[in-house]
Amino acid sequence: MQAGKYLAVFKLGLQNTFVYRWNYFLRAVFALIPLAGTVFLWRAIFNERGGGMQGYDYGSMIYYYLLTILVSNLVTPTEDEWQIASDIREGQINSFLTKPLSYLAYRFSIFLSGRLVYTLITIPPIALIFIYFRDYLTVPADPVAWVCAFISLLMAAMIQFFITYSIAMMAFWILEISTIVFIVYSFEYFLGGQMFPVDIMPAGVQAVMKWLPFYYELFCPIAIFLERLKGVEMYQALLIQTGWLVATWATARYMWKRGLGHYQAVGG
């Protein structure tokens, strides 16, 4: 019965998201423009060095950035924090306080529907880019890498959602959350592997980054798929990622509980 409620929410989310399909498509197309700059930048770097860098050559680096675009589209929330904060500021959450419906599960259903529509709409332009760079593409020979990369991808999506949800809960206390969002997203961009592969950093820096959640929001599933994480190191990464998944889920629930208490105390 409970699953049926959230399935209905998921379907509603699909309908609402399709309203903005052209917005998503154009966003996906123009998001590919920085890739062109990245291609020229790394080509210049490798030409200057006359060789590879930490196991990457020009082709594998381009492949890495193609995968970051794909994975980012699959797992990154789109404006969810603003929608949640708006629900809080405008009192929309009052309707959830009298219904047997978990707001966290409700928003997660919306998140899933949004990711599905966004992915379907953005796959065509991304596929064209993959086809253009097809000479650089390789796939894992080991089926275990496929399975573990997929599991890591699912956990990365959930970790990103729970972090986004927790940030949005700050709207219970402060009117504008944009500064917090900007700070957290800056760390995600720099430490999560969107700017550069995390494993080109010095070993000591990598050791620290592997204990931070940002490493598991994007880089981890890509590194597993590229077989740069394998064997014991891969399973250790999945174990730490599982720990962060549980921690971010618990934080999201805690933030809702504390925020709701504050909201009711001030007569929201």
pTM of the entire structure?
A: 0.84
Domain map (residue ranges) of the chain:
2-265
Question: Which pLDDT does position 39 carry in this prediction?
Answer: 65
| Cα–Cα dist 33/19, whole Å | 24
Cα–Cα distance for residue pair 162/247, rounded to 1 Å: 9
Closest CA to 251 of 169, 183, 178, 190: 169
Tokens for 72? Answer: 């980012």
pLDDT in tens, 6-28: 666 556 555 565 555 556 565 65
27 contacts: CB under 8 Å, gap ≥ 6: 122
Closest CA to 112 of 161, 172, 49, 173: 161
The pLDDT value recorded for residue 128 is 83
Residue 14: helix, strand or coil by DSSP? helix
Q: How many CA atoms lie within 13 A of 204 on its CB side?
A: 0
The residues of the chain scoring below 50 in pLDDT are: none
Alpha-carbon span 117 to 5, nearest angstrom:
20
pLDDT of residue 92: 82
What's residue 60's pLDDT? 84
